[in-house]
């Protein structure tokens, strides 16, 4: 089967079919996830916490993102239908246009098919420049973990009307600038629906309800490996004696059926 690409994911949105995204950090789990029907793999800077034991994503370096992207790309190539790979550009690796272009080049040459960056309207010039150079971009809005110190912790965003309106406007502006996807983290489900309806590009949610075009979870969370703090939006799919690949498939199936996330995983 032909690999999943950006056109594949855009077609799913157009056909109102949901798709599943999952973090991956190495070759083995990348292949297992792709073979289980996960359409997109996110090489997330969440590796700082789940692999390195850091307190946040801030210590993760560009070199580490390049390394893990290359590992995921090799495993993905062995899958029956290779998934679409997104890679986070880490903290302060895209503060200027030149820096962002150099960081994007590094992870794309390592095997990513898209870069993901956190921020709002200020990202527009970088997104436009990357788009002109053939680099697909996912813009991450809502709770942006790289700004955790500015936000005052991991808090739901967009609950006030003014903040919600600003987020919708930012999503539209970044889509107009050339973004190919939007990722919404920890926002009320009603706001996520507004954004999903407002843009023609796919919208991925995490802690954003089930009105979005896709869902993403951190692999370690959905396998029940994070017992210290389980976010409201997480479901453990590693139950009923499932193997890892069966858990991946159960997650993908529930996302596509629209049964995950349910009301218990949403923010009002």
Residue that the structure tokens 């949901």 belong to:
18
Helix, strand, or coil (residue 42)? strand
Q: What is the DSSP string of 88-116?
A: E--TTSSSSHHHHHHHHHHHHHHT-SEEE
- How many other C-beta atoms can be found within 10 angstroms of the C-beta atom of residue 92? 12
Helix, strand, or coil (residue 39)? coil
Helix (H) or strand (E) holding 43: strand 40-43
d(CA 197, CA 195): 5
Q: Is the dihedral angle over the CA atoms 204, 141, 268, 190 positive or is it negative?
A: negative
Catalytic residue chosen out of the listed positions 39, 185, 254, 266 = 185
The reply to whether 185 belongs to the active site is yes
CA distances from 6 to 40, 80, 134 (A): 10, 18, 12
Whether 143 and 155 have beta carbons less than 8 Å apart is answered as yes
Sort 193 into a burial class: Cβ within 10 Å, 0-12 / 13-18 / 19+: middle
Helix (H) or strand (E) holding 66: helix 62-77
Residue 226, φ and ψ in degrees, nearest 5: -105, 95
Cα angle: 52, vertex 53, 57; to 5 degrees: 75
Cα angle: 250, vertex 256, 260; to 5 degrees: 65
Q: Please give the positions annotated as active site.
A: 185
């Amino acid at each position: 089967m032909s690999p999943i690409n950006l056109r594949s994911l855009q077609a799913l949105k157009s056909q109102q079919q949901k798709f599943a995204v999952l973090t991956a950090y190495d070759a083995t789990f990348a292949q297992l996830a792709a073979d289980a029907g996960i359409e997109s793999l996110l090489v997330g800077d969440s590796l700082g916490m789940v692999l390195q034991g850091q307190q946040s994503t801030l210590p993760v370096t560009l070199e580490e993102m390049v390394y893990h992207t290359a590992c995921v790309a090799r495993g993905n190539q062995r899958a029956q239908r290779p998934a679409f790979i997104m890679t986070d550009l880490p903290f302060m690796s895209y503060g200027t246009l030149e820096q962002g272009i150099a960081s994007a080049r590094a992870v794309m040459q390592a095997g990513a098919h898209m870069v993901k960056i956190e921020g709002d309207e200020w990202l527009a010039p970088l997104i436009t420049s990357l788009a002109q150079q053939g680099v697909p971009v996912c813009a991450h809005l809502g709770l942006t973990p790289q700004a955790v110190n500015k936000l005052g912790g991991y808090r739901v965003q967009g609950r006030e009307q003014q903040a919600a309106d600003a987020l919708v406007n930012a999503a539209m502006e970044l889509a107009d600038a050339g973004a190919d996807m939007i990722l919404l983290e920890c926002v009320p489900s009603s706001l996520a629906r507004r954004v999903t309806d407002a843009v023609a590009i796919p919208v991925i949610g995490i802690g954003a309800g089930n009105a979005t075009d896709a869902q993403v979870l951190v692999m370690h969370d959905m396998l029940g490996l994070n017992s210290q703090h389980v976010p409201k939006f997480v479901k453990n799919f590693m139950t009923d004696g499932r193997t890892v690949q069966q858990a991946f498939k159960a997650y993908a199936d529930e996302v596509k059926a629209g049964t995950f996330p349910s009301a218990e995983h949403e923010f009002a």
